Chain A
Amino acid sequence: MKSFLFKTASFLALSFLLIALIFFLFVRSSKKISKEYTFSNEHKVLFIGDSHIQNAIIDSLCPGFLNMGKNSETYYYSYHKLKAILATENKIERVLLSFDYHNLSNYSDAFFLGEKSPVISSEYFHLLPKKYQIQLLVSNWDKLPTFTRQIIKESTRIADRSNRPFPGKFRNDFFRTQAEDSSIQKRIQTQFYSKKGLNDFSQFNLNYLDSIRLLCQKKEIYFNLIQAPVYSDYLDLIPEEYIEKYRSTTYKFSKETLVVPFDSTTKSYFLPDGDHLSYEGAEVFTEQVLNLDVFNCPKNISTNKNLQ
């Protein structure tokens, strides 16, 4: 029995060590690549946030813009991503963070330590401080093989240096779509309600919103909040509590909040969920953003003087 236990334990320990070694080497390599990565000189304005901004800003229309929005990215991930980018990057002059009603809801807290954590956090793992990495590994212990494998796969993607070591880029494959009532209802339910009723506000997200602002201040970078449009019917269904909270938060950030005029009643500008812009809507929205006073785009976005 002793020999059996010893041999089995040795075999399993070696398997574990081997996988752990591969894991740590890959994570280290990703971290190293992200530290060495430099953006193109032309990128001065950075858009970050979740799928709302990822779908909304067609950065190829303006050379100075870089859309690094990523679906399901909460402010916790945005903060650590931005921190890693700004650690070596000194050409970025302005950061625009997507801020919408759903960012106030705690449904997205599950993206960090909840059930969706392994899928979402694997792309950011190498950018996180050690204590958060350990926290994620511990909280996902029951999905450890899948979780660590996803992190390694992400690292192999990063190792191919043609990819950025930071998740997020413009993506919108939704042509000829339009907002639909049933999808809007579902979306509202997902974002603002649970079985218990109305979702609480996410203090976790709001704290990191403050952290992002502070980080930009510290790095002497302009910081703005920007709202990607939602369809008018969707807007009508947002719970009053959230409308109020949104108002008070934007009031707190009144200097930083950008207001972009947009026709929110045109169905074809939206995906069926009424919560994201279609490609057609993104074209219109990008154009509107370019016309904002803070940019003199596309003529001369490249110097600090043009940024208010």
Chain B
Amino acid sequence: MLFNTIDFAIFLPIVFGLYWLLKTTGIRSQNFLLLLSSYFFYGWWDWRFLGLILFSTIVDFTIGIYLEKTSAKRHRLALLITSLSINLGLLFFFKYFNFFLDNLNSAFEFFGEPIGIRAAQIVLPVGISFYTFQTLSYTIDIYRKKINASKDLIVFASFVSFFPQLVAGPIERASHLLPQFERERKFDYVSAISGLRQILWGLFKKVVIADNCARVVNSIFSNHAELDGSHLFIGALFFTFQIYGDFSGYSDIAIGTSRLFGFDLMKNFSFPYFSRDIAEFWRRWHISLSTWFRDYLYIPLGGSRGSLAKKIRNTFIIFIVSGFWHGANWTFIVWGALNALYFLPLLLSEKNRINMHIVAHDRKYPTPKELGSMLLTFSLTIFTWIFFRSENLGEALAYISGLFRNPHSYIELGIYLKHYQLFLLLFFFLVVEWMGRKGEFALDRLFSGRSHYAFRFSFYQLIVLLIYWFNAEQQTFIYFQF
């Protein structure tokens, strides 16, 4: 079920109503309702893969209990390896099997010994990377004795399949989300209203920004060989907004929806396009994944400590693995490697932690230097997104070389005027994001204490109207495929 459909608009109020009606009967029945709703939500897309979630849930629940009971180091390690093998094995099979097969075929062909193994017909289950990483964090944290194993299968299953964040995150840590299922939830008016605002803004980002950009982007990327550089630049620029609107929009709706049920999910995006360097960008983009890799991969590898070679190795590993997490394609690996290249100079010169606060946090406008840094970081990001969006490396390189085709076209106003409506929407979007950058999300503290109620009300109605009017052809969320 997609968030931006009538189906979800019907599903959500029903579950919300039943959930709070069940409050008097206790958290167990509320959790059970959430579990059923989550399976229904997921099964709406394809019920066949419910079995996979159920299997993963039972495996990790059982291993978690045994891990806690066992004190022998060898046994604990064996249990951890079992959990990792099963979870990563499933992920590998569904997501990476054909990729490895293709590359194996290519390698043998290169050496003149073609083996010609056929690719398998495998359907990628939606959200497998997200819930796999969530359950992995659970097992690893028990192994590290950071958390206790859950003794309640309903609670644990609800944690794994919690519908707002099941298919595209944020990837929650067991230490943060699991206890919320174990304690009584109270309806909090302020939090619920804030949740609705976040849903509204998430919908705007997805439906108005991402889906409208997608129309132009799809057409430009599929015809890039025949288009001038200026068109390709517009395609890359719009994709930069599409991916942000799409993914952060999903996260906003997920977090907002959770708030309606008394849950607090972690922040996943924090105005990444206002970053002044790549290190700051990665602290603000897909935070739940970046911190996951930091805690479970980068730090165990030694992090930024140790020799120069080790620092470089660790940086490349984390960025390349992060790229590969997105999909079984060399384009994602190059995307990760490019980000590592951007990041390394900052790490090595120890400038990777100089921009910890949001830009102009005590001012209205940025300084010229800040503006320059933001534009530079933004431009570097646009470049990397070309790899992310392209079908293969050849297409990405052709696209990049196409950016220099007929350079005179860059000064033809007509090309930009053709998309004037979308530029105006993006301008509105950026203004609102800029004004709201000090909050958890753009509308969070946009009007705090200084605007008349009627003004705020009208502004939200305007957003609804914009969503209604610019609702482009429905596109699925990009991150569902990951």
Q: Mark A residues whose CB is within 8 Å of B.
A: 1, 3-4, 7-8, 11, 14-15, 18-19, 141-146, 149
Contacts and interface: CB of A to CB of B under 8 A. Distances in A.
A4 B6 CA distance: 22
B460 A149 contact: no
Interface stretch (B93-101, B169-177, B269-277, B465-473): B465-473
B6 A144 contact: yes
B461 A141 contact: no
B468 A145 contact: yes
B6 A19 contact: no
Secondary structure of the B contact surface, majority rule: helix
Interface of B: 6-7, 20, 187, 189, 192-193, 196, 457, 460-461, 464-465, 468-469, 471
Contact of B192 (A4, A18, A143): A4
Given A4-B189, A4-B193, A15 B471 contact: no
> Chain B CB within 10 Å — which of A18, A141, A145 has the most?
A145
Given A11-B457, A15-B461, A18-B461, A1 B20 contact: yes
Contacts of A1: 20, 187, 189
Given A4-B189, A7-B193, A18 B465 contact: yes
A15 B465 CA distance: 8
B193 A149 contact: no
Contacts of A143: 6
A11 B200 CA distance: 12
A9 to B, nearest CB: 10
30 contacts: A1-B20, A1-B187, A1-B189, A3-B189, A4-B187, A4-B189, A4-B192, A4-B193, A7-B193, A8-B196, A11-B457, A11-B460, A11-B461, A14-B461, A15-B461, A15-B465, A18-B465, A19-B465, A19-B468, A141-B6, A142-B6, A142-B7, A143-B6, A144-B6, A145-B468, A145-B471, A146-B471, A149-B468, A149-B469, A149-B471
A7 B187 CA distance: 15
Given A3-B189, A149-B469, 4 more contacts: A1-B189, A19-B465, A142-B6, A144-B6
Contacts of B469: 149
B453 to A, nearest CB: 11
Nearest to B193: A4
Nearest to A148: B468
Nearest to B457: A11
Contacts of B464: 15
B194 to A, nearest CB: 11
Nearest to B207: A145
A251 to B, nearest CB: 45
Contacts of B196: 8
Contacts of B457: 11
A301 B234 CA distance: 53
A104 to B, nearest CB: 32
A85 to B, nearest CB: 30
Nearest to A144: B6
Contacts of A15: 461, 464-465
B197 to A, nearest CB: 11
A144 B9 CA distance: 12
Nearest to A146: B471
A306 B125 CA distance: 70
A275 B192 CA distance: 58
Contacts of B189: 1, 3-4
Contacts of B192: 4
Nearest to B474: A146
A7 B195 CA distance: 14
Nearest to B260: A4
A146 B6 CA distance: 11
A4 B194 CA distance: 11
A249 B7 CA distance: 44
Contacts of B460: 11
Contacts of A144: 6
A145 B461 CA distance: 15
A119 to B, nearest CB: 11
> Chain A CB within 10 Å — which of B20, B469, B471 has the most?
B469
B193 to A, nearest CB: 7
B374 to A, nearest CB: 35
Nearest to A19: B468
A6 to B, nearest CB: 11
Contacts of B468: 19, 145, 149
